Structure 1
Amino acid sequence: MPSATPRRAFVIWSMAVMVYVAAVFHRTSLGVASLDAADRFGVGPTALGAFTVLQIGLYALMQVPTGLLVDHFGPRRVLTAAAVLMGTGQLLFALAASYPLGLLARAVLGVGDAMTFVSVLRLVAAHFPARRYAALTALTGTLGGVGNLIATVPLALLLGGIGWTITFAVAGAVTVAYAAVVALRLRDVPAGTVVPPVRPALSLRAVLADVGRSWRVPGTRLGFWVHFATMAAPGVLGLLWGFPYLVEQGLSTGAAGSVLSMLVLGLLVGGPLIGVVISRRPDWRMPFVVGYLASTLLTWLVLLGWPGERVPVVVLVVAFGWLSVGGPASSISFALARDYNPLHRVGTASGVVNVGGFVAITASALAVGLLLDLTGSFGIALLSVVGLQVLGFWRTAVWWRRARAAVFAAQERGEDVPVRLRQRRRWDVTAAAA
C-alpha cells in the first residue's frame, strides 16, 4: 500500500491533533470555571457535578458509535463534525444564563469532544507504520495537555479579565472556523491509496457483532480496564473537583490553578517519555501500569490521611504531579487495542477502550458531588475515586493474566504475536483459568 511521506503524514497528524487540543481545552474549561459556574447558575455541588457527569457520560456513551463512524465514514468527516459541535456547544455555553441551557451546551460539547481522539488514532494507524503507533498515541495525548494547560491559569486570568461570555464565545467561534480547515485539508489515507467506497449502512445486528468481536479480544478488554483505572484520578480532578478541593485546602484561586496545572505538566513530561519507552520495550507496558496504580493508591493514602486540616502545598504539588501520570499511562490501553485487533476494526476497538476511563470519570464525578452534599467533606467524597481505582486495578490484573494466556496459546500454535512474552510460572500457570 502506498504510504505518505513522513513530512506529509506529520502534517496530516498535526492538523488532526489541533482538533484534539481544542477538545481537551473545551472539556477541561469547567475546571477553573467551576466556582464561576456555580455563581452564574446558582447551583450547589451536586448540580455542578451534573455538568461533568452529563458531558463525560455522553463522551463515554459515544465512544463505540464514534469508532463505528470512523471505520464507516473516515476520520476527516468525523473530525469536521466534531469541531462544529464543540464550537457550537461552547458558544451556547458562553450565552447560557440558565442551568438547563448550560446543561444543553455541555451536552453538545461532550458529543463533539467524544468524536476527536479515536479519529486521530485512526489517522495515525492509516498514515504511519505500526511501530510508531504507541509513541504517536502518547504524543497525541501529551499535546492534548496543551489544551488542558490553557484551561488552567490562562483561562482563569481571562475569566477574571474579559469575563465569561467573551472568553467562551471566542473559543467557540475559533473552533467552528477551524472545522473548514479540517474539511478541506485533511486526508483519511495517504496519497495514492485506493480508497474503498463508503460501506453500506450497517444494521443494528452488524454493529453489535462488530463491537462484540472487539470486546471478546482479551487485549481489548485489558485496554478497557487499564484506561478505566489510570484515567479516574487525573480526570475527575482536572475536569471539576481538583480546583474546589485545592481552594478548600486554603489556596488562593491563582495558587490553586498553578497546582492544578501539575496535572498538565505530568502529561507533557510523561507522555513523550512513556511513548518512547513502550514503543521500544512493549513488554514493559503492563508492569509500568501495575506499578503506577499501586503507587497511586499510596498517594491517595497520603492526601486523604494527612494529619491536620490542611495538606502542605509541597505535598499537594507532588501528589497532583504523580497522579497526572495516569494521563500518559492511559495511552498504553490504545496500544493494546491496536496490537490485538485488525486495522479495519481499530476504530471500534479504540472506542471500546476509551469508554473505560470516561465511565470511571463520570461515576467518580457524580459520587464526589453527592458525597459533598451529604457530608461537606472532600476527604470522604474523594474516597469514591479511590474505590473506583481499586476496582480498576483488580480488573486490570484479571485481564492481564487472561491476555497473557491468549498470547502464549497463540505462540504455541505457531502464530505471530505483536509482543512476545516470557512465561512466569507462578503468575501464568493458572492464567487460562483466571
Structure 2
Amino acid sequence: MKTVYVCQSCGYSTGRWVGKCIACDNWDTVVEEIAVKTGKRSISAPILIKTLSGSEIITPSRFLIGVEELDRVFGGGIVQGASILIGGEPGIGKSTLLLRIAANVVQLSSFECLYVSGEESLEQVSLRAKRLKINEPKIKLLSTVSLTDVVATIKENKSIKFLVIDSIQTMYDSRITSAPGTVTQVRTCAHELTILAKQYGISLLIVGHITKDGQIAGPKTLEHMVDTVLYFEGENSNQYRILRTIKNRFGPANEIGVFEMSEAGLVPVDNPSSLFLMAHDREVVGSAVFAGIEGSRPILMEVQALIAGTNMATPRRAVVGWDINRLAMIIAVLNARCKMFLHDKEVYLNIAGGLKIQEPSADLAVAASLISSVVNLPLPTSSIICGEVALSGEIRNVSHADLRLKEAQKLGFKKAIMPKNGNYSSHDIEIIKLSHVRELREVFNYN
C-alpha cells in the first residue's frame, strides 16, 4: 500500500504531510489517504468509431419537469443520461427541491426514480414526502452510503431511469480506505455514478455540500465531471429561493428560477421582478431600479445606496449582492470625472431581495444611486436605468436592450435612462440617453 497526502480543499496530493497546502494555501486541509493500486492494463480490441453526421448516433431525448421555472433552468427539460450537480447552503431546501422534481418527472413519464439518501432515514424522507403531499409509487427509496449498493440496485432494476443521490459527500467506495467526504472518495464516487448514468441512460441528480466560501465541497474536478451545475441560493430567513445555472452542456448558463418556500414546499414565482421592487410610484432617495438580464430573462432589481459621514480614518465600504471591487471602481470614476469626493464617507450598497448582480450593466444604476444619496435627490419617478461605465466615465451599450425595456414597460415604468449609442426599437417608454456619467447630474437637476 502506498500512502499519499491529499488536500481536502483543492485535491492536491503529495508524498509527505505539510501543514499548509502549497496549491491553495489553506492550512490543516491535508490528510493521509491510501492510494488505490490499479492492475496491469490489458490490450483491448479496437472500438467501433462513428461519424459525427452519421445516423447511427441517436440524439438523447429530453423530458420536461412540468414546472416552467425548473424547465427554464434546465434548458428546456432534463436530458436523458445527463448528470446534474446541485449545491446550496444547509437547510436551503435542496432535498425538498429534488423530491419535487422526482415526483413531477415520474408523473409525466413511464419510468421509475430511485431516491438514494445517505443523510436521512427512509422514515424521514417519507415524512417530507407526506408534507409535500407526494404519494408516487414510482419513486423508490434507498437509504445507504455504499456506492456498491447503488450500482447493484441500478443494474438489477432496468426500469429506473432517474437517480437522485443525496448527497455525494456521504457516499463511499469500499475499495478506498479514506473516510466518506474526502477528495478521493467524492471524486471516485462521482466518476462511477456519471459512467453508470451514461451507460444505462439514467438522468442523475447529485446533491453537493458547499464550503464556508460558497463553493461546492470536494475537488474542482467534481464540477468538470457533471454536465450541469446548479446553485440553490437564498437566505434561511427569507422565503424566496433562486436556482441558478452555473454550467450547462445542454442549454444556456446563468438562467435562474425563482421560488417561494411555503408549507407545501417550493412554489414557482411567475413574475420575479415584482418581488424585488418596492412601489415605484413614489420617489426614494438613494434608490435606482436596474433592468438586468439573468440568462435569457429580464428581471428588474432595486439598487439601494447610502452615504454617511464617519469619524474613522478608513471609511467603511459594505456591499450586499454586488462586487465590492466594482463599487470601488465606480467611486473612483465619480471622484475623477464628476468631482464627487467620497473618500471620507462611508458607502453602503444593497441589492434588494437577496439577488446577486454579476453583469457590468448595473454600473450606471449604482452610480445613480450613489449620486442620489449624495445630493439627497431622487431619480425621476417610474424610471429604470442600465449601462456600463468605463474608467473614462463614458457609458457603454448593454446587450438585450429591447428585452429590458419591454419588461420595464410591462411593469408600468415610464422612463428609461440608457446609453446614448444604443439602438432601441419603438417603445411606449421615454428614453433618456446619456453618453457620460457626469450627465447624471442633469437627470437630478443638480449642478
Taking structure 2 as the reference length, the TM-score comes to 0.20
* Rg larger in structure: 2
Decide which structure has greater helix share. 1
- For CA contacts below 8 A with separation 6 or more, give which structure has more relative contact order: 1
Taking structure 1 as the reference length, the TM-score comes to 0.21
